[in-house]
A and B are shown apart, each in its own frame.
Chain A
């Protein structure tokens, strides 16, 4: 089914690399021990987990001991927000997030609010980027955690995380009750393998990654927890993962995560994003040519003349950073509802989504991201998200673009008809 189709929904999930599938299969067949067991089979399993931990750590510039495996990116986000706010609750009560965070950040933030914390939601510009100064303006001496995603999952906007990390680093007390606060949490689920993700360069204290977004298995993620940062666990029990996440480790899943990441990192983020940028350009150009009314949501790539950048970034960064990750493109076809476009594309073997897969349960509700960007209803309601992987080809993208133009033309004609 997928072989004959064009899969452009890689921000929802990616097809596992054969290496990842093989690693999962191998772990299930031959390394089935419980990593907590002290006999040989247990030690073998523990070794697989520890080797994978090093691979994940290396991919984000961390130490192995700073990586906590979880049941996925959403759990890691929950652990970061709730765990950190709870651990430091005596040192303040403010939590800062942006309006375009993933729901696995926004919902725990809402829960924290119920629990008596003060949550400040920073708005974004029309390009989906939070302004650096807007974030810093709400960071007070009461702030515990600032959570800003690296790359937005719906429009690909790159947030000014590195600049924020540097600025927060400059205001953190180095001693006392508030030593090291506020913490910076970065949801890097969409950027891992596509952009340079380096926890030191980003200044992140907590950073979330997920296996199935980098061609690994579903059901595995990890949270980077900088040495010295405390967390109250979400899941209590046997004290696995340094007491930060109990439960028998998902050995095959972790092995698959590692194998996928190794291939992804061998390709290299710059090559992956170079290829994605090429695909993006082809897609946008071809669609524009065939359907000039198309609207590209989110920031424009470097070198393009449209779109605006988030405030403050250029003043701080020594070089102009890209504002958009090329592997995620949000296109609106005003007049053609996103779901209709998506269905028609599917009929032509092209798989895209209308926004976040996780939000697709609330049909009829516009995306909170596009809403936060101030998109007019006809633009927000007609958006489809196209997301590339290193497995996609130029031919596939041409085919997808052709199908989009075809659908837009035929539906618009029908509307214009009698």
Chain B
């Protein structure tokens, strides 16, 4: 009864244009007020250039170092191992290109996977095109997991880097990072992980996990856009991407984005304090959403691993519907979701992640990613559970394929 009322109230709000449910936190997160406050405060009062020797510059530099400490702490790194960059994509680019070009090997080889973010995949492809590296792209199983044994088997004498993401941005599958780290240690190959989605969401300790390079981004943890960081284990030789000026210990030229970095520090600090609380909030909501939709919608499935997944990730496939149509309808109801990675949302190609997991093209096409956040409420989830199934039903009503499938497989859609 109460559920129904809440749902109706929500629908009413949506009709009035008030109800907004943001379920695209994997694309970007709203900035926490504490973070926004720190960013604006630094712009107003400590606007010095951290490279300047005068006291205004030194105050800015001190703020940057405090932020570095906070960002480092959330990954178990030492302060001097964290380099601030313009974002997670730059971090991935620098890690891979920087290691390959500094390796000194004549035919450097990189091991990565088919489900990486485009920042990793396109960098690898570009290195191949330039003739600077050979790359092995490992497969994943149906849940999106990489087999550490595959990593071990792919490593050759010329391998200079293994790059496997911590958690996938589309389906939320968390990789066996510790096992992969162990393999890399045994084979003495540096291990890079794109932890943009995992950082602040699940505990990370670079030493415990055997990680040598780790990419993170502020705007995925309720921090500002335009800031990221790369953890570079002490002793690692990584060539910078941007030269000129001695900023970031000569690892990244350009005046440090002080307000952005300070905001990142605050966001990392909040995440460190709230990491368990956030998971405790998100996991039940996530599971309610999955269950609620799958119970009401036939011919649907959850993509990714049922348990080894990010606390906020829901990725569902609906047969006989276009993901894009679902998203459009959801958006009209005030629900912001995505079809996969935001970075490729302009393309009509189905997700490379879902295809790598073995989903047929047409099923991959009908996928929707809903990623929850700290501000997501039980009422939001109820609203989605009430709103989504009728959308799917309406869209399917237009599909002759669906009618045929129902005739063949029955309404429950469980062949």
Contacts and interface: CB of A to CB of B under 8 A. Distances in A.
A362 B245 CA distance: 9
Interface string A219-256: 11100000000000011111110000011111111001
Interface string A256-277: 1000000000000000000000
Most buried by B among A1, A218, A252: A218
Contacts of A180: none
B336 interface: yes
B53 A103 contact: no
B244 A358 contact: yes
Interface residues of B, number: 74
B30 interface: yes
A252 B257 CA distance: 12
Interface stretch (A37-45, A137-145, A199-207, A325-333): A37-45
Interface in B27-68: 27-31, 35-36, 39-40, 43-45, 47-49, 51-57, 59
A50 to B, nearest CB: 14
B241 interface: yes
B322 to A, nearest CB: 13
Interface in B317-338: 327, 330-331, 336-338
Contacts, number: 290
B245 A359 contact: yes
Given A21-B43, A351-B56, A237 B244 contact: no
Interface in A27-76: 28-29, 32-34, 36-42, 70-75
Nearest to B96: A236
A85 to B, nearest CB: 13
A194 interface: no
A357 B57 contact: yes
B253 interface: yes
A12 B52 contact: yes
A352 to B, nearest CB: 8
16 contacts: A2-B56, A12-B49, A13-B48, A24-B43, A25-B36, A25-B39, A36-B343, A39-B327, A71-B87, A106-B244, A237-B93, A238-B89, A238-B343, A250-B226, A351-B52, A358-B246
Given A219-B256, A235-B93, 13 more contacts: A9-B52, A12-B48, A34-B27, A39-B338, A41-B336, A42-B27, A71-B87, A71-B257, A111-B243, A219-B227, A246-B343, A253-B224, A360-B52
Interface of B: 20, 22, 24, 27-31, 35-36, 39-40, 43-45, 47-49, 51-57, 59, 85-90, 92-93, 117-119, 122-123, 125-126, 217, 219, 224-227, 241-247, 253-260, 327, 330-331, 336-338, 341-346
